Structure 1
Amino acid sequence: MQISVLRHRSLLWDFVRRDLATKFRGSALGSVWMLVTPILTLLVYFFVFSVVFKARWSGGGLNSKASALILFSGLITYTFFSECFLRAPMLMRENPNFIKKVVFPLEVLPLAITLSAVVNAAIGYGLLLLFNLVFVGLPPLSAIALPVVLLPMFFAVLGVTYLLASLGVYLPDIKLLVPPVSMAIMYLSPVFYPLDMVPQILRFAVAMNPFTPVLENVRHVFFFGEWPDPLGMIIQLAVSIAFLSACYWFFMKSKKGFPDVL
C-alpha cells in the first residue's frame, strides 16, 4: 500500500482537493462552509446543553460549558467515521469511468475520501480548541497527545472504507444497510453520554465497541489531563494496522472483477 500511495501521491492530493471542493460547489460561500457548519453545530450544542439543560459531564467535575465541549468532541470523532462509512459503499459505482475506460489506481479513491474526512475533522478539533480557550481555558498538557490517540482510528476507518468500497460493487444493497448501522453505532458508543452512565450489566458490551476506547482517550487527554496508556495504544495501533492490511488486500484482490460487475 505504501509503495502505491507514494507512486500516486500527486494524484491522491488532487482527488482530496477535488473532493473537498465538490461538497460546496455552486454555493455562494464555497469552502467557507467547512468552517460555518461546525461553528453552527457547536453554537447549538452550547445553547442546548449549557444554557437549556445546564448539563454536567458526570465524574469530571466540569461546568456546563465544558460538558458541551465534551459532547462536541464525541460528535467530531464519530462524524469522521460516519462520513467515510456512509460514502464508501457507493464510491466505486459513482466513479465507473475510472474502472471501465482508463487505467487508474482505484486504491487512491478510498484513501482520498478518508483524508478529506480528516481535513473536516481537523477543522472541528481546531474549533474545539478555540472554544475551549475562550470558555474554559487552556487545555491540559496531555492534549498534545490527541493526534496519537486518533491514529489507530484513522487506520481502522481507512480499512472499513476499503472493505465497504469493494463490497459495495458486488452487494449494492449494502448502501441501504449502512445508514441504520451507522446510527446504531452512534447510540451504542459513548458519544453523548459517559461510559459510567451505562448500566453495569450492559457496560461491558459498550466498552467492547471499537469506538469506546477512542472516545474515552480523546476526552481523557483533552479535558481530564490523563495521558494515554502506552501499552494500550500500541495494541490499538497494531490491531488497526492489521485490520487495514487485511481490508486493503481484499480490495486489491476484488478490484479485478469490478469492470465485469459495473
Structure 2
Amino acid sequence: MQISVLRHRSLLWDFVRRDLATKFRGSALGSVWMIVTPILTLLVYFFVFSVVFKARWAGEGLNSKASALILFSGLITYTFFSECFLRAPMLMRENPNFIKKVVFPLEVLPLAITLSAVVNAAIGYGLLLLFNLVFVGLPPLSAIALPVVLLPMFFAVLGVTYLLASLGVYLPDIKLLVPPISMAIMYLSPVFYPLDMVPQILRFAVAMNPFTPVLENVRHVFFFGQWPDVLGMIIQLAVSIAFLCACYWFFMKSKKGFPDVL
C-alpha cells in the first residue's frame, strides 16, 4: 500500500484538492464554508448547552462553555468517521470512468476522500482550540497528544472506507444500510454524553464500541490533562493497522471484478 501511494502521491493530492473544492462548487463563499460551517455549529452548541440548558459535563466540575466544547469535540471526531462511512459505498459507482481505465490506481480514491475528511476535521479541531482559548483558557499540556490518540482512528476509518468502497460495487443496497448504522453508532457512542451517565448494566456494551475509546482519549488529553495509556495506544494502533491491511487486501483482490459489475 505504501509503495502504491508513494508512486501516485501527486495524483492523490490532486484528488484531495478536487474533492474539497467540489463540495462548495457554485457557492458564493466557496471553501470559506469549511470554516463557517463548524463555527455556526459551535455557536449553536454554545447557545443550546450554555444559555438554554446551562449544561455541565457530569462529574467533571466544568462550566457550561467547557461542556459545550466537550460535546463539540465529540461531534468533530464522529463527523470524520461518518463522512467516510457514508460516502464509501458509492465511491466506485460514482467514478465508473476510472474503473474502465486499466492503468488507473483505484486504491487512490478511498484514501483521497479519507484525507479530505482529515482536512475538515483538522479545521474543526483548530476552531475547537481557538474557542477553548477564548472561553476556557489554554488547554493542558497533554493536548499535544491529540494527533497520537487520533492516529488509530485514521487507520481504522481508512480500512472501513476501503471495505465499503469494495462492497458497494457488488452490494449496491449497502448504501441504504449505512445511514441507519451511522446514526446508531453516533447515539451508542459517548458523543453527546459522558460514559459515566450510561447505566452500569449497559456501560460495558457502550465501552466495547470501537469508537468509545477514541472519544474518551480525545477528551482526556484535550480537556482533562490525562496522558493516553501507552500500552493501550500501542494495542489500538496495531489492531487498526492490521484491520486496514486486511481491508486493503480485500479491496485490491475484489477490484479486478469492478469493470464486469459496472
TM-score (norm 1): 1.00
**Cα 1:137–1:234 shift into 2, 3 Å:** same
SS at match of 1:94: coil
Q: Which runs of 4+ in 1 moved over 2 A?
A: none
Q: What is the CA–CA distance in structure 1 between the aligned matches of 2:253 and 2:102, rounded to whole Å? A: 19
Q: What is the CA–CA distance in structure 2 between the aligned matches of 1:218 and 1:169, rounded to whole Å? A: 34
1:59: how far off? 1.6
Counterpart in the other structure of 1:227? 227
Root-mean-square deviation (CA, aligned residues, Å) is: 0.5
Cα deviations by residue, 1:115-169 (Å, 9 ceiling, x for unpaired): 0000000000000000000000000000000000000000000000000000000
1:214: how far off? 0.2
Cα deviations by residue, 1:47-71 (Å, 9 ceiling, x for unpaired): 0001100000012110000000000
1:186: how far off? 0.2
Counterpart in the other structure of 1:56? 56
Counterpart in the other structure of 2:113? 113
Cα deviations by residue, 1:104-125 (Å, 9 ceiling, x for unpaired): 0000000000000000000000
Q: What is the CA–CA distance in structure 1 between the aligned matches of 2:68 and 2:95, rounded to whole Å? A: 39
Q: What is the 5 A alignment of 1:209-248? A: 209-248=209-248
Q: What is the 5 A alignment of 1:80-95? A: 80-95=80-95
SS at match of 2:259: helix
Q: What is the CA–CA distance in structure 2 between the aligned matches of 1:108 and 1:69, rounded to whole Å? A: 34
1:102: how far off? 5.0
1:248: how far off? 0.1
Cα deviations by residue, 1:175-234 (Å, 9 ceiling, x for unpaired): 000000000000000000000000000000000000000000000000000000000000
Q: What is the CA–CA distance in structure 2 between the aligned matches of 1:148 and 1:184, rounded to whole Å? A: 26
Cα deviations by residue, 1:91-111 (Å, 9 ceiling, x for unpaired): 000000000145200000000
Q: What is the CA–CA distance in structure 2 between the aligned matches of 1:173 and 1:22, rounded to whole Å? A: 25
Q: What is the CA–CA distance in structure 1 between the aligned matches of 2:44 and 2:258, rounded to whole Å? A: 43
Q: What is the CA–CA distance in structure 2 between the aligned matches of 1:102 and 1:25, rounded to whole Å? A: 29
Q: What is the CA–CA distance in structure 2 between the aligned matches of 1:48 and 1:36, rounded to whole Å? A: 18
Q: Which shows bigger deviation, 64-73 or 98-107?
A: 98-107
Give the unaligned 5+ runs of structure 2: none
Q: What is the CA–CA distance in structure 2 between the aligned matches of 1:148 and 1:99, rounded to whole Å? A: 35
1:260: how far off? 0.1
SS at match of 1:92: coil
TM-score (norm 2): 1.00
Q: What is the CA–CA distance in structure 1 between the aligned matches of 2:71 and 2:16, rounded to whole Å? A: 28
**Cα 1:213–1:159 shift into 2, 3 Å:** same
Aligned length: 262
SS at match of 2:102: coil
Q: What is the 5 A alignment of 1:132-211? A: 132-211=132-211
